């Protein structure tokens, strides 16, 4: 079965607008003077052209119909809202090469009910601005969709971009540019009614934005934090079958564990490499697990999958949330699998967490929780000693990224209030060494050899920590990093004396020794 990298919007449209016509059209080029000289010489001016296209649109599309515009809608942003208000139907936009990417956050507020940054599909009908042919774009997501399109049968690609040019494309390509349709939207198909036998997702309902508005107004929480937390919870829920195979770390992990309301960027999860399985089996399972999140998000209304990059040991999935409100929230799932079995079962705690939005509803409107489905997940997190080790390594070894070091130091200062290293110093020293080896192994796997050389040549300096952290805490750190007889110092010496080519093997050898301690 071929993994689909293209969002199928048909079920979403059926849920929102059952039994409606779906129309396609592309390249209206509203308020574009020069297009008259290129392909529309029948018009005497841009205002005449604009009104003609709007009239043709409204002759075909009713107020209840759906129209998907395949890019290059309007050339003057100040007229987008007014133009859309004159046009019938529920309007969706696939971004074209002349549409403003910097307006993506505002398009829903201007009148588009959905905005898509990449091609989408309805069944085997692929919708794109440019034709899905080789060489159109140097873009990984476009390449994945193109490869998918090539490998399925009974397909057709509806596109715009080429206006009235005859490109002698095969019959599987259908040009729906204005000029090729005589400015009359093309009827693609109709939506159907869907039986609603299950509780609807809250994020699919207009109520979601109302609740978000209320929380933002009353508690001054940023939309990125509130909605991002919700989407990350959905991602983790999609991995519920694999909750023992990965753990959550990074800034989002700190938010959920410690209620540490600093800004968070991506959802950083690490899958645990199993020595009981072959390298290929580990890689296959890694792919299967992250693909499960991708497949789930494709079914969610208002979620726009921007790209999905897949490497041997790394998966990066970016999704955005758009709505009629001026909210555009981008979320990144950063997952990895390193062929170094450096974790122990005692490194983790399992937590069940609610979203910020769900906590608010529990206090203020619990009835909604009975009417709608909200994300619910359990996940593994590192123990506090692991969090402190990760933050310290980031502060000491992150090259030329002072802003990230400052943020990591703030978080470390916060954790120092609640965690004492003296009580469990031996365990902290052990996990610090293992995570140090893991970081080097990750850099090696990603071919980031210059960063490995930086670590090899860097003598750790922690003197500056005394200005920000408790002295008792700094003393414990010093026992590990500044003591020439510590295990960490021995590991650093061994890594420094190992060639780049043999670095990964050396990390594996040292890790086995540590695990026997």
pLDDT computed for residue 4 by the predictor: 65
For 211-257, how does the pLDDT look when each residue is reduced to its tens digit (9 = 90+)?
Answer: 888 888 888 888 888 889 999 999 999 998 898 899 998 888 888 88
Answer for the pair 391, 415: CB distance below 8 angstroms, yes or no: yes
| Tokens (6 digits) for 78 | 């100040």
- The model's pLDDT over 145-168, given as tens digits with 9 standing for 90+, comes to 888 888 888 899 999 999 887 678
Among the residue ranges 265-279, 314-328, 338-352, the one predicted with the least confidence is 314-328
Question: Mean pLDDT highest for which of 195-209, 304-318, 377-391?
Answer: 377-391
Residue 198: predicted pLDDT: 63
| Number of Cβ atoms within 10 Å of the Cβ of 100 | 14
Q: In what order do the strands lie in the sheet with 314-322?
A: 303-310, 314-322, 328-337, 267-271, 246-249, 377-382, 348-353
Instruction: Return the closest-CA partner of residue 144 out of 177, 121, 172.
Output: 121
Q: Is the pLDDT of residue 308 over 60?
A: yes
**H or E stretch covering 188:** strand 186-190
**What pLDDT sits at residue 322?**
76
For the record, the structure tokens of 56 come out as: 């043709």
Cβ–Cβ under 8 Å, residues 491 and 510: yes
Mean pLDDT of 399-404: 69
Other beta carbons within 10 angstroms of residue 246's beta carbon come to 22
State residue 208's pLDDT score.
87
- Under 8 Å between Cβ of 145 and 4: no
Is 354 or 435 the better-scoring residue by pLDDT? 435
Which one has a higher pLDDT value, 399 or 277? 277
Local structure of 138: helix, strand or coil: coil
Instruction: Calculate the CA 102 to chain-centre distance.
Output: 18
CA of 30: how far to CAs of 42, 95, 129, 161, in Å? 15, 15, 16, 14
In this structure, are residues 356 and 220 in contact, taking their beta carbons and an 8 Å threshold?
A: no
pLDDT at 306 over 50: yes
Nearest to 60 by CA among 13, 30, 23: 23
Q: What's the distance, CA 484 to chain centroid?
A: 43
- CB-based contact 149:126 (threshold 8 Å): yes
- The band of 487, judged by pLDDT with boundaries at 50, 70 and 90, is very high
Residue 203 is predicted with a pLDDT of 87
Structure tokens at 295: 């497949």
The CB density around residue 41, as the number of other CB atoms within 10 Å, is 8
Q: Identify which has the larger pLDDT, 60 or 517.
A: 60
3-class DSSP assignment, residue 264: coil
Please report the pLDDT score of residue 179 as a whole number: 92
Is the pLDDT assigned to residue 326 strictly greater than 70?
no
What's the CA gap between 178 and 185, in Å, rounded?
Answer: 8
Contacts of 352 (CB under 8 A, 6+ apart): 376, 377, 378
Give the pLDDT mean for 309-320.
86
Q: Measured between alpha carbons, how far is 165 from 279 in angstroms, rounded to an integer? A: 51
14-28, 101-115, 255-269, 414-428, range with greatest mean pLDDT: 14-28
Q: How many CB atoms lie within 10 A of CB 323?
A: 20
DSSP one-letter code for 404 = H
Query: Mean pLDDT over residues 280-292, rounded?
Result: 91
Share of the chain above pLDDT 90, in %: 39
Average pLDDT rounded to a whole number, residues 360-369:
85
Higher-scoring residue by pLDDT: 352, 83: 83
What's the pLDDT tens digit per position in 167-218?
788 889 999 999 999 999 999 999 988 665 567 788 888 788 888 888 888 8
The answer to whether 321 touches 331, Cβ cutoff 8 Å, is: yes
Question: Going along 238-374, which residue ranges are E strands?
Answer: 246-249, 267-271, 303-310, 314-322, 328-337, 348-353
Give the whole-angstrom CA distance, residue 389 versus residue 385: 6
* pLDDT at residue 309, as a whole number: 83
The pLDDT, as a whole number, for residue 1 is 40
Which two three-digit tokens encode residue 2?
A: 């071929």
At 261 the pLDDT is: 58
**Residue bearing the bigger pLDDT, 352 or 34:** 34
As a whole-number percent, the residues of the chain with pLDDT over 70 amount to: 94
Q: Mean of the per-residue pLDDT values for the chain?
A: 86
Among 263, 15, 1, CA closest to 152: 1
């Amino acid at each position: 079965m071929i993994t689909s990298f293209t969002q199928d919007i048909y079920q979403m449209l059926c849920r929102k607008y059952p039994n409606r016509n779906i129309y396609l059209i592309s390249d209206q080029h509203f308020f574009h003077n020069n297009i008259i000289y290129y392909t529309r010489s029948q018009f005497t001016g841009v205002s005449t052209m604009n009104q003609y296209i709007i009239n043709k649109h409204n002759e075909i599309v009713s107020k209840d119909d759906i129209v998907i515009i395949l890019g290059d809608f309007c050339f003057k942003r100040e007229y987008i809202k007014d133009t859309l208000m004159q046009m019938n139907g529920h309007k969706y936009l696939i971004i074209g090469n002349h549409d403003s990417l910097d307006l993506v956050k505002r398009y829903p507020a201007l009148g588009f009910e959905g905005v898509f940054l990449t091609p989408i599909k309805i069944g085997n009908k692929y919708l794109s601005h440019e034709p899905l042919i080789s060489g159109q774009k140097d873009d990984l997501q476009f390449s994945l969709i193109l490869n998918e399109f090539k490998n399925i049968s009974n397909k057709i690609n509806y596109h715009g971009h080429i206006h009235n040019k005859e490109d002698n494309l095969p019959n599987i390509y259908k040009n729906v540019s204005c000029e090729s349709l005589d400015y009359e939207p093309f009827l693609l198909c109709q939506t159907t009614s869907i039986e609603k036998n299950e509780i609807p997702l809250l994020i699919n309902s207009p109520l979601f934005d109302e609740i978000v508005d209320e929380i933002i107004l009353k508690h001054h929480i940023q939309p990125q934090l509130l909605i991002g937390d919700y989407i990350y919870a959905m991602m983790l829920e999609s991995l519920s079958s694999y909750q023992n195979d990965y753990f959550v770390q990074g800034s989002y992990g700190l938010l959920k564990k410690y209620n540490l309301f600093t800004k968070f960027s991506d959802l950083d999860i690490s899958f645990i490499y199993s020595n009981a399985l072959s390298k290929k089996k580990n890689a296959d399972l890694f792919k299967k697990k992250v693909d499960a999140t991708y497949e789930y998000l494709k079914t969610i209304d208002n979620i726009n999958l921007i790209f999905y990059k897949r490497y041997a040991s790394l998966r990066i999935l970016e999704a955005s949330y758009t709505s009629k409100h001026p909210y555009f929230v981008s979320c990144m799932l950063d997952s990895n699998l390193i062929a170094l079995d450096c974790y122990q079962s005692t490194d983790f705690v399992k937590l069940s967490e609610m979203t910020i939005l769900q906590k608010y509803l529990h206090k203020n409107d619990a009835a909604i929780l009975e009417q709608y489905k909200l994300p619910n997940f359990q996940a593994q997190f590192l123990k506090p000693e692991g969090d402190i080790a990760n933050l310290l390594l980031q502060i000491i070894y992150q090259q030329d990224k002072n802003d990230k070091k400052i943020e990591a130091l703030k978080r470390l200062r916060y954790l120092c209030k609640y965690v004492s290293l003296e009580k469990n110093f031996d365990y902290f020293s052990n996990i610090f060494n293992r995570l140090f080896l893991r970081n080097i192994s990750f850099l090696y796997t990603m071919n980031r050899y210059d960063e490995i050389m930086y670590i090899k040549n860097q003598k750790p300096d922690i003197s500056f920590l005394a200005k920000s952290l408790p002295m008792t805490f700094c003393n414990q750190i010093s026992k590990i990093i500044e003591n020439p007889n510590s295990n960490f110092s021995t590991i650093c010496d061994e890594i420094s004396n190992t060639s780049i080519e043999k670095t990964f093997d050396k990390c594996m050898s040292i890790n086995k020794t540590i695990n026997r301690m």
